[in-house]
Structure 1
Amino acid sequence: MQRRTVLLLGAALAVSPAVKAHAHPDHPDHPATPGETPLVTEGPYGEGWRKLAPIASGPRQEHSVAAVGDKVYLIGGIVPEASGGVTTTGRVEVYDTRRDTWSVAAPLPVAMNHPNVAVVHGRIYVLGGLSGGSAWQALRDSFVYSPRVGRWRRLPPVPAGVERGSAAMGVHGTKILLAGGMRVLVPGAGGLQDTVDTVSAYDVVTGRWKSLPSLPQARDHVGGAVVGGTFYVLGGRDRGQVHVRDTVYALDPRARRWSERAPMPTARGGIAAAAVGRRIYTFGGEGRHDGDNPNTVFDETEAYDTVRDRWQRLAPMPVPRHGTAAVAVRGTIHIPGGGVLAGGAPVEVNDAYRPVHR
């Protein structure tokens, strides 16, 4: 597969001024200078990719997304500060997939980045995330949002000891599944990243939490989806960007046992993932590439066939990004925002991918 290189014409808003990054493993360094927005040259669209209206309020990264009907909800994350650097937000914006327009919804009562988000029966659940200043700590705060009513309602907090952000998410019946994640993230080169192997289930009807068998290995910044009743956890990393993984774990909730499936073609963390039919699509990411560069931002689009246990490489992202999220609406996968340099470099890019298999 031929890669498209994104040329970053400006410097990025970075979590740490010392961080440097590559937009592609073969591209030269681009120093990250706080206070300037990265200008992005897009690769070609087509082969399933389509450019959409950019995020109305501007750049966003380390957020989550949810789909209710024909609308995509962009929830929390980090945004640029006027004085440089980034800050956590509770902002919620809504993208209308039919009209290609944005609107504003009620903000999260508590600002979060890396929020754990899922939709059950048309309601959006947020089950903790990360927030803080120099160190992002796990939050126990949980909420549910009804689009019909237009407001958030507080839920009982995540049980003490299992709170985290950046978990793989899935829905099985009335249960929301969370696998892995992190309890602490200290932004900047070499900062602590406290990855966990915890797996939990929250029943939206009873309001009860239940522990499930732990992941075979700890993961955060990982893809997750439920297909055919099986919960898949794809890629991710373990305690930092240099420790990216290509593993695919599968959990049968009834058997309560993890198995390992065909690995991803490209090991990467900070990916976005969404399921359409029997396939799970993974996009972008961040981390070490072939052991030579810990600051790669990936353009890879790779699809996992859950029936054949087989991967396929597809047309790459026109704008490589990490720290973004993906959700499917009527067979089209929407991917708003993300970062284009290692660390914090939010952009307002909004695009969609309609699966095309060669």
Structure 2
Amino acid sequence: MQRRTVLLLGAALAVSPAVEAHAHPDHPASPGGTPHVEEGPYRRGWRRRAPVASGPRQEHSVAAVGDKVYVIGGIVPGESGGVTTTTRVDVYDTRHDTWSDAAPLPVAMNHPNVAVVHGRIHVLGGLSGGSEWQALRDCFVYSPRADRWRRLPPMPAGIERGSAAIGVHGTKILLAGGMRVLVPGAGGLQDTVDTVSAYDAVTGRWESLPGLPQARDHVGGAVVGGTFYVLGGRDRGQVNVRDTVYALDPRARRWSERAPMPTARGGIAAAAVGTRIYTFGGEGRHDGGNPNTVFDETEAYDTERDRWQRLAPMPVPRHGTAAVAVRGTIHIPGGGVRGGGAPVDANDSYRPAHR
């Protein structure tokens, strides 16, 4: 396995400077309504599941506790067109293929940063707002047994962001990259950061880690074998999708670069099963053409061999969704089927043949 070390820093916090970088001028506004969903074949591990009961959802996060998948926040179709940020939390029972409601988020968020430690769901900031989505410092922890949210101290000032890559290492939640501002629509500001932080869910303490080699948002994240992987994503706009894979050894505090993704894309969903990380869908420039293309790619990264494999494509190509594994099956609820905001209620699962 070849590994190339690309960055070695101390504990100083690294934040990308604010840059007037924007979405592609042709990036569509959110049209409102429910877009038509075209399905491909369900084969080679793919299975259609009960659609999201509350309706279309996009730019949410997911978490698994036991056999249940929690769909947290995001955007939904607005009553007067366009989309709106929601507090909704929906619960999918993977054994019975049924949906139920959970206590809503205390604050409406899209692109929330979500992770599970000791059976509790942590939300560490996200984005919210009307025509301009700004980063929030709000943090909460949810007890599934009590169906109750509890407010935590806010994120330290200056590191708030949404759409970060997330991983869990012991009791620490790792956040890499993300964005502080997202203005939806043509030419909208997208403020991507390279900030890397860790939150200890037991002590409540925040720690600054070496920054990413390059800023990323709408990026995949997973911890496998104690290493935190940050996959794909984009840097200040849909035309700037990336194929990079960065790996952090939390103890050595060093980033290295691994084999790149076969397909550069942002807005992906990612989940780990065993020693492999599976990546799904995405949005952005495709083969140098339309920057608003939605991807159907399913690609798996073997962390032991530093090698990628192309797998059966998504039956419903989507971006702005999220993925989580339960008993070796990966669940992918919601997402957008067109560039920008185009939420749908599709809910699929993928069962890897080799785990």
Q: Shared fold by TM > 0.5?
A: yes
Q: Does 1:291 align with 2:288?
A: yes
Partner residue of 1:110 out of 107, 110, 116: 107
Cα distance in 1 for partners of 2:205, 2:31 equals 43
Task: Report Cα offsets for 1:21-54 as digits up to 9, x if no partner.
Answer: 7xxxxxxxxxx77233111121000200000000
Contact 2:295 2:319 in 1 (8 A): yes
Partner residue of 1:48 out of 41, 45, 49: 45
Shift of 1:357: 5.0
Which residue of structure 2 aligns with residue 66 of structure 1?
A: 63
Cα distance in 2 for partners of 1:356, 1:38 equals 32
Shift of 1:20: 6.1
Partner residue of 1:265 out of 262, 266, 271: 262
Task: Report Cα offsets for 1:290-332 as digits up to 9, x if no partner.
Answer: 2122111000000000000000000000000000000000000
Pairing 1:176-191 to 2, within 5 Å after superposition: 176-191=173-188
Partner residue of 2:305 out of 297, 303, 308: 308
Query: Aligned in 2, Cα 1:33/1:337: closer, same or farther, shift over 3 Å?
Result: closer
Contact 1:221 1:236 in 2 (8 A): yes
Task: Flag structure 2 segments of 5+ consecutive residues without an equivalent.
Answer: 1-22
Cα distance in 2 for partners of 1:245, 1:35 equals 29
Query: Aligned in 2, Cα 1:110/1:224: closer, same or farther, shift over 3 Å?
Result: same
Pairing 1:326-341 to 2, within 5 Å after superposition: 326-341=323-338
Q: Does 1:194 align with 2:176?
A: no
Which residue of structure 1 aligns with residue 86 of structure 2?
A: 89
Which residue of structure 2 aligns with residue 7 of structure 1?
A: none
Contact 1:314 1:357 in 2 (8 A): no
CA RMSD of aligned residues (A): 1.4
Tell me the TM-score normalised to structure 1 length. 0.91
Which residue of structure 2 aligns with residue 321 of structure 1?
A: 318
Amino acid at match of 2:156: P
Which residue of structure 2 aligns with residue 127 of structure 1?
A: 124
Partner residue of 2:72 out of 59, 70, 75: 75
Cα distance in 2 for partners of 1:43, 1:233 equals 29
Deviation beyond 3 Å, 4+ runs, structure 1: 18-21
Which residue of structure 1 aligns with residue 205 of structure 2?
A: 208
Which residue of structure 1 aligns with residue 155 of structure 2?
A: 158
Cα distance in 2 for partners of 1:52, 1:329 equals 14
Shift of 1:138: 0.1
Which residue of structure 2 aligns with residue 356 of structure 1?
A: 353
Contact 2:320 2:335 in 1 (8 A): yes
Cα distance in 2 for partners of 1:36, 1:182 equals 27
Partner residue of 2:137 out of 137, 140, 147: 140
Amino acid at match of 2:96: R
Q: Does 1:35 align with 2:32?
A: yes
Shift of 1:83: 1.2
Partner residue of 1:242 out of 230, 234, 239: 239
Tell me the TM-score normalised to structure 2 length. 0.92
Q: Does 1:230 align with 2:216?
A: no
Task: Flag structure 1 segments of 5+ consecutive residues without an equivalent.
Answer: 1-15, 22-31
1:43 counterpart SS class: coil
Contact 1:19 1:342 in 2 (8 A): no
Task: Report Cα offsets for 1:207-238 as digits up to 9, x if no partner.
Answer: 00000000000000000000000000000000
Contact 2:90 2:100 in 1 (8 A): yes
Task: Report Cα offsets for 1:256-287 as digits up to 9, x if no partner.
Answer: 00000000000000000000000000000000
Cα distance in 2 for partners of 1:205, 1:72 equals 23
Cα distance in 2 for partners of 1:149, 1:80 equals 30
1:289 counterpart SS class: coil
1:294 counterpart SS class: coil
Cα distance in 2 for partners of 1:74, 1:112 equals 12
Which residue of structure 2 aligns with residue 346 of structure 1?
A: 343
Task: Give the percent of matched residue pairs that are identical in Structure 1 and Structure 2.
Answer: 87
Amino acid at match of 1:187: P
Amino acid at match of 1:230: T
Shift of 1:356: 2.3
